[in-house]
Amino acid sequence: MSHPRTENDGHKYQPVSSTENEAQERHHSIEDPAALDLDRHLRSFKQQKRKKVILIVMGAIGVFLFLYWAIAGSSQRLPSCDSVDLGFQCQPHISHFWGQYSPYFSTPSEIPTEVPDQCQITFAQILARHGARDPTASKTTKYAALVERIHSNASSYGNGYGFIKDYEYTLGADQLSVFGQQQMINSGIKYYERYQTLAKDITPFVRSSGQDRVVKSALNWTRGFHDARVKDKGSESDKDYPYPIVAISEDSGSNNTLDHGLCDEFESGFDSTIADSAQTSWVSIFTRSITDRLNENLPGANITSTETIYMMDLCPFNTVADVNGFISPFCALFTEEEWHAYDYYQSLGKYYGFSWGNPLGATQGVGFTNELIARLTNTPVNDHTSTNSTLDKSRQTFPIGGKTVLYADFSHDNDMTGIFSAMGLYNETAPLLNTTAESVVETNGYSASWTVPFAARAYFEKMSCIGASEEFVRIVVNDRVLPLKTCGGDYLGRCTLSDFVDSLSFAREGGDWGKCFL
């Protein structure tokens, strides 16, 4: 029977036992000269033979060690599935289509991501999603039950499905995986390297939403930043490490711009059902043939269309449960086209759950948007939605101005989707169809995997440029420079600071917060 791991469980490793074969030396009884001559001859023969054997054995050992070192050395030199610069790159034709369960990868950008010539970064805010995790508690229970039922009821396993017979469900619930920790370390390194001119002398102000995996993600990010700074010989000493982190409670009723929960109509009213409805329509279309194939290869399991999604979920979750992010065998059960349909399924959930497909989706991101305005303009926060006024009025918990020009906030995929929407970053995306899959080209760059994968990051940059009378703002989401058409972005994706702030009228006016409590 398979059981999900709890927070206190860990993977248990049993050391490989080694045995030694000890050679026993034989002794001969010598009683007469003839026997002595024979014994000398035998000893001479054995010594010569032993020399040959030793040479042969030493040669064999040499060959073995050469092969071992060659294999071990090459395995260490093999490129990891995840890297600082490009993120996750193993089997990108499928792994970049796992929706919000894709590990972060560098997305294509039509606008160069480098800082424009004759410009200098003066401010850099990162808004990041936590690293890869185990399934949520409710999902891990469902996945474990499905695996157990397959083991109990499947009468046979089709070609390519045999691994499921011996598969043991060991995924936990809600925990940041080791792979996810490394993602966040890599993210901290990348941020430091991108903003090195500022980062070598200035420590970022760090906030995190209060859930354990988010706080741990922030801690790992600071470790990456710190490691990069220590290696930079031109940087200041990093005596401030470990950096302080302001963790904002996610308890019910808490004001928290990094975690939604206050808007009643959005949380439990009709609006809370819109995403499920959109996804259900698409599931009924794209999973039909997949479900039939699963049941043909797992006769007796009686997998439903909903459970087909669960089977697909097991691919990314088992992949990120691996320390190195090696692709799970579950992934090969589905075609590239089916993964594209799955990615679209997840995009529907985000768009109709937390973006403009939901009447109150964008409103959930208003609070953070107004905090960003305050940081960019060095003015007090002006907001009456989800901000915590006690924290935002204190320079210890919400510093603005002076040398505080680097910020790092850590949140969730749903909240980042709402924030992007409140800022109008994907206003060029038409309402997603729930009967036909659309590519990122057709959605103008919007998908769950392109916007909020595990360890997603958005950079909000302010820069001064030679010859310009005003500073510019630019936004980079997972290495893709957004065109910022809502504020008249130029060919480098830049808007003037004043134009950018003016374009955020939806947030500055409180969004539709008044509709939260009808």
Cα torsion angle, 234, 237, 242, 247, sign: negative
Q: In sequence order, what are the residues at sequence separation of 6 or more whose Cβ sits closer than 8 angstroms to the Cβ of residue 414?
A: 260, 350, 353, 354, 364, 452
| Catalytic residue (one of 96, 130, 260, 412) | 130
> What count of other Cβ atoms lies within 10 Å of the Cβ of residue 396?
9
Cα torsion angle, 505, 507, 508, 509, sign: positive
Cβ–Cβ < 8 Å for 328, 322: yes
Radius of gyration over alpha carbons of the chain, in Å? 29
CA distance 103 to 85: 13
Cβ–Cβ < 8 Å for 418, 354: yes
Find tokens 């000269």 and name the residue.
33
Residue-by-residue DSSP string for 400-461: -BTTB-EEEEEE-HHHHHHHHHHTTTTTTPPPPPSSS---TTTTTS--HHHHS-BT-EEEEE
* Burial class of residue 129, CB neighbours in 10 A (0-12, 13-18, 19+): buried
| Catalytic residue (one of 82, 134, 343, 413) | 413
Phi, psi of 374 (to 5 degrees): -60, -45
Cα–Cα distance list, 175 to 101, 131, 202, 408, 415 (Å): 14, 10, 31, 21, 19
Residues of 372-381 as b/e, b for ≥16 C-beta within 10 angstroms? bbbbbeeeeb
Cα–Cα distance list, 136 to 5, 7, 142, 350 (Å): 12, 12, 10, 17
The answer to whether 413 is a known catalytic residue is yes
Residue 39's SS3 state is helix
CA distance 152 to 293: 19
Cβ–Cβ < 8 Å for 177, 131: yes
Could you tell me the two tokens for 152?
């109990």
The catalytic residue positions are 130, 413
